[in-house]
Amino acid sequence: MRKITLLILIVLLGLGKLCAQGTIRGIITDAKNNNEIAFANVSLNKNAGTTSNDSGVFIFENLKPDRYKLSVSFLGYESYTQTVTLENNNTIVLNIKLNPINFTAEEVVVTATKTENHINQVPTRINLISTRQIEAIPAQSTDELLATVPGINISRSFGIFSHSSTVSMRGLDGQEQGRVLVMIDGIPTNKTDGGSVNWNLLNTGQIDRIEVIKGPGSSLYGGNAMGGAINIITKKPTEKFAGKASIDYGTYNTMRGQVFMNGKLNEDSDKGLFWNFSSFYRQSDGYNSASEADQQANPYLVKSGLQEFGANAQLGYNLNKNNGFDLNVLYYDDDRGTGEQVFQPQGNNREHDSYHIRLKYFGEKQNLKWNVSLYYLNEDYKRISEWLKDDYTFYKVLSERIDLGALSSVSYQLNNQRLTGGIDLKQGSVDAKDVYYTSSDVVYNRGKMNTLGLFIQDEISLLNNKLKLIGGLRFDYAKFFDGGFEIKDPTSETTFMLNYNNENIEEDSWNALSPKLSIQYNFNNHQRIYANYAKGFRPGVLDDMCRSGRIRGGFKVSDPTLQPEYINNFELGADSRFFNKLRTSVSVYYSIGDDFLYYVNTGDSIDLSYGPRPIIKASNISKVEIYGLELEANYMLSNNIILNANYAYAHSQINDYKPLSSDDPIDLTNKYISNVPKHMGSISASWRNKIINVGISAKYVGKQWVNDLNQFDEIILDDQYPDYTSVNLKFSKEIKSIFVNLNIQNILDNKFYNSKGAVNPGRFITLELGMNF
Amino acid sequence: MKVYKLFFILIFLLQFISCTEENLTSTNPFILLKSGDEFSRTGDYIPIGGQIKFGLSAVGDGAAITNLSIQRITDDNVITELDKGMYIKNGGLDTTVVFMKGAAEKEVWKFSIMNDHRDTASVSATIYKGDGSAYGNIDYFPAITIGYQNNNSLPFYVDLHTGNAYDNSSISGNEASIDLVAYYYLNSGKSSPTLSCPAYETARFYHPEISDWPSQNSILYDYETTDYDLISEDEFDAAQNDSLLVSAYIPTSASGTCKFCFSGKIIPFKTENGKYGLLKVIQADEFDSGSIKIDVKIQK
């Protein structure tokens, strides 16, 4: 009754102003309980805005006759958009009902099955990072958005100054990106050369959501998905034109400018042309990551600064909601110092000059859906290394890494089951050289790997969707060819490598079968249990098969005969929701790894022209045992406050070690896998209110073994890295079309040291000022 | 949003796209042998063990000189006597190098430079073996004891030309004559008594006072001969002239630091001013407040 009175009042007020220009007014209420919603954000064409008052009422007056797009948003509710046409001197009165968001709304995922499924309808552990969560996390890079996902371990030693980062999960080596598949809009981005991913490519503002699939995904995705898969899904246009631009400034004289724009030709239809463009530039003076003692001892240590530029353009055409294609071009270039400068103007540094071209075609007809993608990913990597010891050494690593391929999948809905199949083709290559400028040496390495994958999957729903079964199988065939490691004009810088000179490395091929079987039972809409078995695999990377060279602590020897590693994973999980406010989940997993790829000390040494150093090589270890537990709880305290807490335990140990030779002195049996924290946990909260929105998170990362032998490390001065906790904070405020964000990372200014004894940037603060248009 | 605003933003961002392609133009570096009575010249006859002295002058043609390589080429062998990285941007290279005449009847000495465009230049001189021999005299300094980095009582710094050792209170004024320092550390977990020199970066880490010295000498230790025990203690004890000191030194496996200097090790070295020598480790502690005791034989 009160609402009706208010509406009448609004109408009467509007009538009283008939002589003025047009007016739009309305009341905002909860669609379920009809309660007024105060302080909801209301915007008109994105350049005028207001908030609803205590009674949920808003008003825009003195408007010119025009067509207006009115948008209403409030945390905990689905956003509302309506286009209204205002005639001269008219008053439009709106009764807007916002639908509350519950935990399961918008939780449709595509990565786990290559088909659309609700997150609770897939019998595996999936973590979804939504737009709302992304907005509350003070992340400077894409990987940092994953920090609060249970069981995810991120290795980014120097914050934004890190030229590389690794995201691993569930007890797998934290320095190896190759065991977790990372995709951008479904396109794999792990490089065949080393399995690595450039996490700096994307600006976090481009990301709509991230799907994290835990456990082996090789039955659908093949090699790199052995430990899991991460799909980064970028934003798509929803309006005729929208955009925002911002600048930010922060610690170490860091500054960034970024712009996002997108649009669709036909706003009110799913049909037509759409486009997307975003770009950013960032630079920073950086900081000196060496210890005080190292800085005193080495006069050439300098700050590790950065410059980076990225741009992403997308053009697409939709025939209708479910049929269309799009072309995406991404460009990225960076220049990151690594903290030492002797004579070269930029000192030791690394550059990644990258571009990606992706073409996607998707369609649907009756019960059939299909998806075809072509991609070409290129990275020109350049590293400058210089140092002064007895004499001056200066060389450049120039490496061209190309991955190209085609992905296809077709799914067919047949009553209560959905069949999916597809073919994937990929070629990865590397063509690299180390060019010395202080001696005559040039060291070349090259190699290619072709992969063919065929997969099939069946999703069966029974007992009125209470019971779900998924079975899948993938066959992969791969061929390593055109490999070579060649040293030209060797001097003392490289003569020690001559034993490994091999202009034509023998070809090799292998194949792998990756089955998956999973089952789930939903007791009701709030409780489910699931169990699954999946086998995953990962082939060796080109870098381990065709490049020998110096690495930290020794000399890495290539091995073109490396065989794929395998993992058999068994998992049980359960989810519960209580009163649509609290959601809890638990997962336990047990994995056995066979022929596990691991860097081991061979026991031999080699003279690197500055004394003998241990020889290290990637090797297939007989057996590895990994098991763990993940717990997570989300609580929606109110529509404005969401809390999250999680904990992950992982035990990763080598069960059986196969010696490299009969006189191999190394025995890794019962040693723990390095760079794996046994305990991790995080708590986070986001609170949206009319004064300022706040997001806070704290992450604990437990101790990790430093090396394969689990022995004392002379740099870390321990056999394990110390545990640490990082607390991050974000404040954000939007006033009409202007927005302000204050990001504070590592608020406690804790210092963490990496394997080289280098320290993280400490507390890192940026203030961002931007405008929506 | 007006279109012109978008243009401004785009233009602002596009300012930062810069090409980092390498665009190295071809250059013509140049090297010559200095003339003058003090220097050896092509066609000279020098007896075995006699001194060969070359003066080198080189320019990089606008690019920095980044490498100097010296090869001794005989009918049987090519020995790289020096392959040194450097960075000389301005003024060019101007240096003098000293070697000992070997046993070959004819030695072609080839001097090459490279600049940071990887363009090269070279010059050669041929030296013939003269009559007789000219092995030189040596100095012998027995039982020099040097402290590691955390030793509070023994001297740290040694002048190998005189056998004198100094600590931080007595070093003032003698810095330019110091050739050797010692320290102890764990190398990949392995115990390593280590000999080094003031110019070596790691030595300055363990002895930070060296960073304040007006000059820091370098030295090159032959670690291959050391690691593989190619010279015995008896041979060291028997050396009465510089024949063994010169012949033992392998220039291709030389570094400013020598690790794992345990008792009994014989270490060939060459000082910054070109003197060859041998060290014998008498005793080496394996803790950082300990010391190392050495015998030294060096060319006079």
Q: Do B86 and A392 touch (CB under 8 A)?
A: yes
**Domain span(s) for CATH 2.60.40.10 in chain A:** 2-98
Task: Tell which of B133, B153, B187 closes a domain.
Answer: B133
Q: Which of A87-101, A176-190, A322-336, A338-352 has the lowest mean pLDDT?
A: A87-101
Which residues 87-146 in chain B show a CB within 8 A of chain A?
Answer: 87, 89, 114, 116, 118, 120
Please tell me the predicted confidence (pLDDT) of residue A16: 43
Residue B85 lies in a domain: yes
The answer on B129 and B157 residing in a single domain is no
Give pLDDT tens digits for A505-536: 999 999 999 999 999 999 988 899 999 999 99
Please tell me the predicted confidence (pLDDT) of residue B18: 42
CB burial of residue A321 (10 Å; 0-12, 13-18, 19+): exposed
Please tell me the predicted confidence (pLDDT) of residue A33: 80
The answer on B163 and B111 residing in a single domain is no
Q: Do B84 and A391 touch (CB under 8 A)?
A: yes
Residue B8 lies in a domain: no
The answer on B186 and B93 residing in a single domain is no
A110 phi, psi to nearest 5 deg: -120, -20
Please tell me the predicted confidence (pLDDT) of residue A381: 97
Closest-CA residue to A755 (of A701, A716, A705, A702): A716
Closest approach of A492 to chain B, Cα-based (Å): 6
What distance in Å separates the CA atoms of residue A451 and residue A190, rounded to the nearest whole number? 14
Q: Do B13 and A609 touch (CB under 8 A)?
A: no
What distance in Å separates the CA atoms of residue A348 and residue A368, rounded to the nearest whole number? 54
Greater confidence, A158 or A266? Answer: A158
Res. B191 pLDDT band, cuts 50 70 90: confident
What residues of A are in contact with residue B187 (Cβ under 8 Å)? 611, 714
Residue of B nearest to A301 (CA): B201
Greater confidence, B6 or A376? Answer: A376
Which residues 330-349 in chain A show a CB within 8 A of chain B?
Answer: 333, 335, 342-343
Tell me: pLDDT of A19 over 70: no
Q: Do B69 and A294 touch (CB under 8 A)?
A: no
What residues of B are in contact with residue A612 (Cβ under 8 Å)? 227
Give pLDDT tens digits for B8-45: 555 455 444 444 445 567 899 999 999 999 999 999 99
Tell me: pLDDT of A273 over 80: yes
Closest-CA residue to A290 (of A763, A754, A707): A754
The answer on B243 and B165 residing in a single domain is yes
Residue of B nearest to A279 (CA): B13
> What CATH code is carried by the domain that includes residue B96?
2.60.40.650
Q: What is the ipTM of this complex?
A: 0.75
Give pLDDT tens digits for A49-103: 788 888 889 998 888 888 888 888 876 677 788 888 888 778 889 999 988 765 4
Q: Give A226-285 as a DSSP string.
A: GSEEEEEEE----SSSEEEEEEEEEGGGEEEEEEEEEEES-TTSS-EEEEEEEEEEEEEE
What residues of B are in contact with residue A69 (Cβ under 8 Å)? none
Give pLDDT tens digits for B49-74: 898 999 999 999 999 999 999 999 99
Among A47, A438, A553, whose Cβ lies nearest the Cβ of B188? A553
Please state the rounded mean pLDDT for residues A13-31.
69
Residue B235 lies in a domain: yes
The answer on B98 and B231 residing in a single domain is no
Give pLDDT tens digits for A190-226: 999 999 999 999 989 899 999 999 999 999 999 999 9
The answer on B145 and B128 residing in a single domain is no
Specify the pTM.
0.82
| 3-state per-residue secondary structure call for A372-433 | EEEEEEEEEEEEEEEEECCCEEEEEEEEEEEEEEEEEEEEEEECCEEEEEEEEEEEEEEEEE
What residues of B are in contact with residue A437 (Cβ under 8 Å)? 66-67, 114, 116, 118
CATH class, range A234-772: mainly beta
What distance in Å separates the CA atoms of residue A419 and residue A115, rounded to the nearest whole number? 10
B191 phi, psi to nearest 5 deg: -65, 130
- Cα of A115 vs its chain's centroid, Å: 20
Tell me: pLDDT of A503 over 50: yes
The answer on B119 and B152 residing in a single domain is no
Residue B2 lies in a domain: no
CATH classification code of A2-98 = 2.60.40.10
Give pLDDT tens digits for A380-425: 999 999 998 778 999 999 999 999 999 999 999 998 999 999 999 9
Q: Do A351 and B20 touch (CB under 8 A)?
A: yes
The three-state secondary structure class of B166 is strand
> Contact A408/A370 with Cβ under 8 angstroms?
yes
**Domain span(s) for CATH 2.40.170.20 in chain A:** 234-772
Task: Tell which of B133, B158, B187 closes a domain.
Answer: B133
Containing structural domain, residue B84: 30-133
The answer on B78 and B211 residing in a single domain is no
Closest approach of A391 to chain B, Cα-based (Å): 5
pLDDT over 90 percentage in chain B: 69
Please state the rounded mean pLDDT for residues A547-559.
85
Please tell me the predicted confidence (pLDDT) of residue A266: 83
Tell me: pLDDT of B2 over 80: no
A66-73: strand order across its sheet: A48-51, A41-44, A66-73, A80-86
- CA–CA distances in Å: residue B163 to residues A469, B160, B273, B300: 84, 5, 16, 12
What distance in Å separates the CA atoms of residue A302 and residue A395, rounded to the nearest whole number? 19
Q: Which of A73-87, A672-686, B144-158, B182-196 has the lowest mean pLDDT?
A: A73-87
The answer on B289 and B154 residing in a single domain is yes
Residue B70 lies in a domain: yes
The answer on B218 and B89 residing in a single domain is no
Residue B16 lies in a domain: no
Task: Tell which of B101, B133, B165 closes a domain.
Answer: B133
Number of structural domains chain B divides into: 2
**Domain span(s) for CATH 2.170.130.10 in chain A:** 108-233
The answer on B276 and B172 residing in a single domain is yes
Among B1, B84, B202, whose Cβ lies nearest the Cβ of A243? B1
Residue of A nearest to B15 (CA): A281
Please tell me the predicted confidence (pLDDT) of residue A2: 46
Please tell me the predicted confidence (pLDDT) of residue A7: 41
Please state the rounded mean pLDDT for residues B226-238.
92
Tell me: pLDDT of A482 over 70: yes
Tell me: pLDDT of B255 over 50: yes
To the nearest whole number, what is the mean pLDDT of chain A? 89
Name every residue whose Cβ is closer than 8 Å to that of residue A415 and which is 6 or more positions away in sequence: none
What distance in Å separates the CA atoms of residue A309 and residue A353, rounded to the nearest whole number? 10
Among B85, B187, B224, whose Cβ lies nearest the Cβ of A438? B85
Closest approach of B92 to chain A, Cα-based (Å): 15
Q: Take residue B79 and report the two structure tokens written for it.
A: 């020995």
The answer on B95 and B232 residing in a single domain is no
Residue B41 lies in a domain: yes
According to CATH, the topology of domain A108-233 is Ferric Hydroxamate Uptake Protein; Chain A, domain 1 (2.170.130)
Pairing of strands A565-578, A582-607: antiparallel
Please tell me the predicted confidence (pLDDT) of residue A50: 83
Tell me: pLDDT of A18 over 60: no
Please tell me the predicted confidence (pLDDT) of residue A267: 75
Range list of β-strands (E), A99-206: 108-109, 117-118, 126-129, 152-155, 166-169, 180-184, 187-188
Please state the rounded mean pLDDT for residues A723-733.
94
Residue B62 lies in a domain: yes
- CA–CA distances in Å: residue A699 to residues A149, A155, A630, A753, B36: 10, 13, 15, 17, 72
What residues of A are in contact with residue B198 (Cβ under 8 Å)? none
